[in-house]
Amino acid sequence: MSSIKDLIAESYLLRRSYVAADLVEAINNLAKHTKVAYKDYTFKSGLEHNGWVVPSDWSVSEAKIYKDNTLIYDGMLHPLSVITQSASFTGKITLQELKKHLYFAPRKPHAIPFHFRLSYRPWQKEWGFCLPKNVFDSLAPGEYDVKLNTTEKPGEMVVREFTIPGKSKETIVFAAHIDHPGMCNDDLAGCAVGVSLLNAIKKQFKKTKYTYKLILVQEIVGSVFYLNALTTEELKNIKYSLFLEMLGNDNTINLQKSFLGNTYIDAVCTTALNSLKNLYRVCSFRESAGNDEIVFEAPGYEIPMPSISRWPYDEYHTSDDNLEIIHEDKLQESLEYLLNIVFILENDVYVKRTFTGIVSLANPKYDLYIDPGQIFTGGLHQNNNATQFQYMMPRLLDGTCKISELAQKFNLDFSWLFNYLNKMKEKGLVLFLEK
């Protein structure tokens, strides 16, 4: 069985620009690790929607800079070394002219930065290299010989959609972006956790209540064309979505809420945080990493899309975003958190009491008393959240509250509360209602 990190390692050095054989190879590499059925959506280069344009199929065959016949820089050694969608250039130029085509990251002098603008602007033709600032600074004055050969040809942008059909057509979409050549955390980490999540759902649930999808997209552009390709019926079925991004670095989990911030999926994601053993963070829409939530939340779609990430991290958008910063335990914790979310979605019901008055929960026939301890032992209210729940629960179980709301209100672990209420149900004290 491969680790999640193995799935990242397999594909991260591929030159995953938006329309490229390397990107499809990365999708296929991930797909090898799941039996969940998929469908590919393809969009031809040049296709336009709302001003967004599908780029050409782009590849690089040679990317060298010489000075006095000595190779100074080989842009084939790392996928970030040539700017994405770069035009070709062959010729002799001065250092001054060459520098206009070189990009580096001042904050990380040894690393190669990510230049991605042209993926979003196919109408703009430029050529360029990305290189470490240390190399840039070492370039001596004089004439340079550039041999940059890239190919642009019509192709197809592939968006892959995996589906686990549920009892209901109501759908939850997980999304992650598969582009970003030569990097791990942003966002092969999200893709790899997404595929592992599909497998975990299949393993844990015989048949789910909701339909679950995972889409592997090209950031923004992939989601724009994917949503545009869905039928009105398919769009109507998507109730909620969740973006999975940068899940392997050494930072705490950050839940970025949806545009409205108070939707059901926001509540579920917030409740699921209670089950994490480590610290976590919560922020509002677009206060953390920005991704395809602006597409899903756009007018006409308005599909709530919180995002889960471990943003920020120092290596972001540079060649330092490599396997060294990816931690298997962080990937596993992210997966566990997402499974908590799915567990809540699958088991969340309204709870309606069958009793009036107050029930003696300590009576052995119920055996449901949550003991607050006794003051003479110094242990009173040792389990404050649960005991508070116990005192207020008779009034709250009126059929208008879901388990997730109660868990959130009392800061309780959802599965603990679910098990407790399930026992109440077995004793005939409550009913579980879907609506």
Which residues contact Zn ion by CB under 5 A? 186
Structure tokens at 147: 């041999």
Q: Is 17 exposed, middle or buried (0-12, 13-18, 19+ CB in 10 A)?
A: buried
Task: Give me the least distance between CB of 186 and Zn ion, in Å please.
Answer: 4
Task: Give me the least distance between CB of 189 and Zn ion, in Å please.
Answer: 11
Q: In terms of CB distance, is 220 or 272 closer to Zn ion?
A: 220
Q: In terms of CB distance, is 83 or 268 closer to Zn ion?
A: 83
Q: In terms of CB distance, is 116 or 259 closer to Zn ion?
A: 116
Q: In terms of CB distance, is 186 or 292 closer to Zn ion?
A: 186
Task: Give me the least distance between CB of 316 and Zn ion, in Å please.
Answer: 7
Structure tokens at 251: 């930072």
Task: Give me the least distance between CB of 187 and Zn ion, in Å please.
Answer: 7
Partner residues linked to 60 by β-bridges: 150
Task: Give me the least distance between CB of 409 and Zn ion, in Å please.
Answer: 36
Q: In terms of CB distance, is 186 or 266 closer to Zn ion?
A: 186
CA distance 320 to 407: 40
Q: In terms of CB distance, is 217 or 430 closer to Zn ion?
A: 217
Q: In terms of CB distance, is 176 or 342 closer to Zn ion?
A: 176
Strand, helix or coil at 129? strand
Task: Give me the least distance between CB of 180 and Zn ion, in Å please.
Answer: 6
Measuring CA to CA, which residue among 1, 8, 2 is closest to residue 247? Answer: 8
Contact partners, residue 66, CB within 8 Å, separation at least 6 = 72, 144, 145, 146, 147
Task: Give me the least distance between CB of 392 and Zn ion, in Å please.
Answer: 45
CA distance 291 to 52: 15
CA distance 8 to 14: 11
Minimal CB distance residue for Zn ion: 186
Distance of CA 59 to the CA centre of its chain: 27
Strand, helix or coil at 96? helix
Could you tell me if residue 69 is left (phi over 0), alpha (psi between -120 and 50 degrees) or otherwise beta? left
For residue 316, the one-letter residue type is Y
Structure tokens at 129: 């290299």
